[in-house]
Structure 1
Amino acid sequence: ADNALRERRYPTDMTEAEWAVVRPLLPVPGWMRGRGGQPEAYCHRAMLDAIAYLVDNGIKWRAMP
């Protein structure tokens, strides 16, 4: 569920160094520990980048793709 080598698209996206600090703090999914369930459909890093984008920007013209 993680894409470690992700290209930065927005100024609020995490750098590789920030991701290295945050990644160990996220819980391990149940399906990876043999407790059943389905794999996640979305990358954890992409979700955190989206949250940071909304918190910082809402939507700014200069940050639009």
Structure 2
Amino acid sequence: MMRLLFLLPVLLCFGWFYFLRANGVPLKQGKRGFIYILVFSTLVLGFFLLMMYVTGSFDSL
């Protein structure tokens, strides 16, 4: 699962880009959404890394 976690921000950013284009919103105006996506994805990744550290499951990588 950790190997696929990098896809989370890629897919969310692609979806946000598609949403902006479909509604005619310029990228400059939707920049804050990309920042929110990256912050959220960083928090999710950090949570999973913390849980792997707590449970000692780094050996399974």
TM-score normalized by the length of structure 2 = 0.31
From the CA coordinates, give the structure whose radius of gyration is larger: 2
More helix by share: 2
The structure, 1 or 2, with the larger RCO (C-alpha pairs under 8 Å, 6+ apart) is 1
TM-score normalized by the length of structure 1 = 0.30
